Amino acid sequence: IEVNNLVKEFAQKNNTIRAVDGVSFRVRRSEIFGLLGPNGAGKSTTIKILTTLIPPTSGTASVLGHDVVSNALEVRKNICVVFQENAIELYLSVRNNFRTFGRFHGMSVKEIEYRSGRVSELFGLREYLNQKGIDLSGGLKRRVQVAKMFMVDKPVVFLDEATTGMDTFTKRATIEAIKEESRKGRTIVLTTHMLDEAEQLCNSLAIINHGKVIAQGSIHSVK
């Protein structure tokens, strides 16, 4: 992933808000890269640009060599995303959430069963497979949402505040699962406002505040 002097402005009444202000960074293949900063720093806006949901005001960004504006479809073909809002089917069981997601991505029944079994094991969800989404805690809903993304073999994964609402044990299981997926060769970009989570997960990071990168590099160099 390459991001060069990215700017995003929003018009607000008689004012212009610059949510992202000249952000630049690189993410290497198979790396876990963190965007660390307080709420409102510009992390989610940056992720929305990289995942083609909103265009930048200026600057450039590319994923696997595909420009996020001029070649957005190719970017989308190669990514999966977890945003801050929960996105699970509340009136389906966890098992059927996985099945539905697999069908959306054109998987066969056999492949869906294999992959849903794998992510259920990886994310510690086996005992919840027959429970409906609406009956799960906020942390478990979040875990199901993250697990769905790892059912598909996309080389780049974006996780926006992926562990929000999780208790300590759920968060630990999710962090270990994310690390395991990185070891298999996936590139993972995550946003967080928690330093300890960034330290546990990331190979490198950029700290963002008021839309600007104020420090970046390896965990050790930034510390």
pLDDT in tens, 210-223: 999 999 999 888 88
Question: What pLDDT shows up at residue 105?
Answer: 87
Question: What pLDDT shows up at residue 33?
Answer: 95
Cα–Cα distance list, 180 to 183, 187, 208 (Å): 5, 12, 26
Mean pLDDT of 95-102: 94
In the sheet with 2-12, reading across from the earlier edge strand, the strands are: 15-26, 2-12, 58-63, 66-67
pLDDT of 86 over the 80 cut: no
Question: What pLDDT shows up at residue 36?
Answer: 92
Mean pLDDT of 72-90: 87
- Compare 153 and 75 and report the one with higher pLDDT: 75
- Compare 18 and 174 and report the one with higher pLDDT: 18
CA diameter of the chain: 56
Question: What pLDDT shows up at residue 51?
Answer: 95
| Angstrom distance (rounded) from CA 192 to CA 195 | 8
DSSP 127: G
**Beta carbons within 8 Å of 178's beta carbon, 6+ residues apart:** 32, 146, 159, 162, 188, 190, 201
Mean pLDDT of 126-153: 89
Average pLDDT along the chain: 90
Q: Using one digit for the tens of pLDDT, what is the confidence trace for 50-70?
A: 999 999 999 999 999 999 999
- Rounded to two decimals, the pTM is 0.87
pLDDT of 85 over the 80 cut: no
pLDDT band at 91 (very low <50, low <70, confident <90, very high): very high
pLDDT band at 169 (very low <50, low <70, confident <90, very high): confident
Lowest mean pLDDT among 52-66, 76-90, 132-146, 162-176: 162-176
Question: What pLDDT shows up at residue 97?
Answer: 95
- Compare 13 and 92 and report the one with higher pLDDT: 92
